[in-house]
Amino acid sequence: MKATITANPIFYLTLDKEIVSILMRLANNHYDFTCKQAGKYGGLLYGWRNCVEHDADCQGTFRDLDLTLKICELANPAVTQKNLPMVKRYCNFVRKLLKQSQQLCDIQLEAESDE
């Protein structure tokens, strides 16, 4: 017998206004429609901005966090020398979170033999 356990984690992030604001500017300047939508009314980052303004954690799925990495990946006029370190720190943090979640969420088990 074999079994595979998979899970879809939900992440709760405590972020500050500055990084969410930068992510929104990056999203609005992005070439990809899905990335642009994340920064618009009703989008992921718009919701995160509301959370930060009310001192609540920002919630996201693996896919949401992966989207924020895509938003950050290109050279963008919204990234300045002043905020570049913050963007890099955010991206490194999210990559670590995603990697850790993969290790926790994909488990394979095999039953012991009857011998």
Domain boundaries, given as residue ranges, for the chain? 7-110
**Model pLDDT for residues 46-65, shown as the tens digit of each residue:** 999 999 999 999 999 999 99
Positions in the chain short of pLDDT 70:
75, 113-115
Q: Buried (b) or exposed (e) across 103-114, using 16+ Cβ within 10 A?
A: eeeeeeeeeeee
Q: What is the pTM of this model?
A: 0.84
In this prediction, residue 3 carries a pLDDT of 82
* Tokens 């070439």 belong to residue: 31
Cβ neighbours of residue 111 under 8 Å, at least 6 residues apart? 1, 2
**93 C-beta neighbours (distance < 10 Å), count:** 14
pLDDT value, residue 82: 86
